[in-house]
Structure 1
Amino acid sequence: MFMKMLMAGSGALFVFYVLVHMYGNLKIFAGVDAFNEYAEHLRTLFTPFLPYAGFLWLFRVLLIAALVAHAWSAFYLWSRARGARTTRYVAKAAARATVKSKMMRWGGVALLLFLVWHLLQFTIVKFNVGSLPAEGSPGLLVISSFQVWWVVLIYLLALVALGLHLYHGVWSASQTLGWAGNAAARRRAKTLGTVIALVTSVGFALPPLAILFGLVKGS
């Protein structure tokens, strides 16, 4: 039960993070300057109590810890279920495992790989695959990158995995936390999972698509 609670708790933090991150990405519709001001604001949060970019680094450490906890609990629960398949009861339960649960597992792996790519591109290395000069400007880096069709494609495929993961994650967390004890509660949990998955996926997809089709430009 502890591992399920750990997975649900760490997952809830990531739901909060992706919603906030999605909101920040939508700032690009207000222009490059507005996006850059938002990025700079994140680095000056709680200064001078914290050093420049101190809040961002603290939050990144928290996210890394949550990621380790989420992956560890997921692997533990998966390995325990796999190891228990020798019993007749669990073997029958495993046979009833849905395609969606398998997609949840491998979707998580796909999201982890995408996260590495995403961090390298926009945070750690900040490499520009487009032709627009973007040195020192987060907004121009975003626009230049999403003017490249294959970058947008990678991003959209990752959003499909994210949407499915969020839907299943919210539903599973609701069961773990005891919020889906009856038919009405289960319907609410599924509705909540659907809304969060759709809002997040569509919200993240709008900026790259708008940039790719020239609706948002760097000048």
Structure 2
Amino acid sequence: MAVLDPPRLRRLWSSTVGKKAVMGVTGLLLLLFVTAHMLSNLKAFISPASLDHYAAWLRTVLDGALGHGGFLWIARIGLVVCVVLHATAAVQLARRARAARPVRYRHRARVQGDYAARTMRWGGVILALFVVYHLLDLTAGYLNPHGVQGDVYNNVVADFRLWYVTLFYALAVVSLGFHIRHGLWSALQSLGASAAARRAWQATATGYAVFITAGYLSVPFAVLTGLLR
């Protein structure tokens, strides 16, 4: 197929428009995953069995064709590819932007864009470190205090009873919230919307980021305060 022609894909990737398109598509896929994952975490408030059964069900999706847990591994590989492409495109676009303005302004006030860019950079580092820890903790069970495969609820509770785990988790989630807000806001800016639409979308981006952040933080703080045990 022409769309899969390697030279055409290379040209697309090498262009600024292509890199922005890759960032947009991968960002949307990652946002869908983040949202679905957050909503599934809230099953902990229904019952321990609800969360455990959901985790067990994920391993049976398309198991007739992919084997037990095969769907999860394909999803994980896809997420890793999305993260790598998203981060690589972001770094390369930032370098192109700096190269286009090699001489810095001598008296340049700090603006929102500078703050957002710094937040995205450091937030990305924090998120990358957290994902590695999260996989070793709740996916593989190596770093989890309980560490029993399939006993998801008790693994989560054992984790968040530790204040320093909750603190690290909260830091990563807040970084994710900033990342989502800036990403959604930047997506609209690139479309050249009107001032009224930009204000509405900025409020929407902020609201969605707060929604995701609050959803993710609800479980660890419920454990830490004894609401979940």
- 1:125 Cα offset (Å): 4.0
Q: 2:168 is paired with a residue of what secondary structure?
A: helix
Structure-2 residue corresponding to 1:190 = 202
- 1:2 Cα offset (Å): 1.2
**Percent sequence identity over aligned pairs:** 38
Deviations 1:78-126 (A, max 9, x none): 1112223325xxx45x946421221112211211111111111111344
Aligned pairs for 1:195-210 within 5 A: 195-210=207-222
Matched to 1:65, the amino acid is V
Q: Does 1:20 align with 2:33?
A: no
Q: Does 1:160 align with 2:174?
A: yes
Normalising by structure 2, what TM-score? 0.85
- Number of aligned positions between the proteins: 209
**Counterpart contact for 2:55–2:152, Cα < 8 Å:** yes
Normalising by structure 1, what TM-score? 0.89
C-alpha separation between the residues in 2 aligned to 1:192 and 1:45?
A: 33
Q: 1:49 is paired with a residue of what secondary structure?
A: helix
Aligned pairs for 1:82-93 within 5 A: 82-86=98-102, 91-92=104-105
- Specify every segment of 5 or more residues in structure 2 that has no aligned partner in the other structure, as ranges: 1-16
**Counterpart contact for 2:141–2:147, Cα < 8 Å:** no
Which residue of 116, 135, 144 maps to 2:148? Answer: 135
Matched to 2:54, the amino acid is Y
Structure-2 residue corresponding to 1:41 = 57
- Cα 1:107–1:98, aligned 2, differ >3 Å: closer, same or farther? same
Aligned pairs for 1:68-83 within 5 A: 68-83=84-99
Deviations 1:121-157 (A, max 9, x none): 111344223xxx4523111111111111110011111
- Which structure has the higher relative contact order (CA within 8 Å, separation 6+)? 1
What is the root-mean-square deviation in Å for CA atoms of aligned residues?
A: 1.9
Matched to 2:178, the amino acid is L
- 1:50 Cα offset (Å): 2.6
**Counterpart contact for 2:26–2:82, Cα < 8 Å:** yes
- Specify every segment of 5 or more residues in structure 1 that has no aligned partner in the other structure, as ranges: none
Q: 2:44 is paired with a residue of what secondary structure?
A: helix
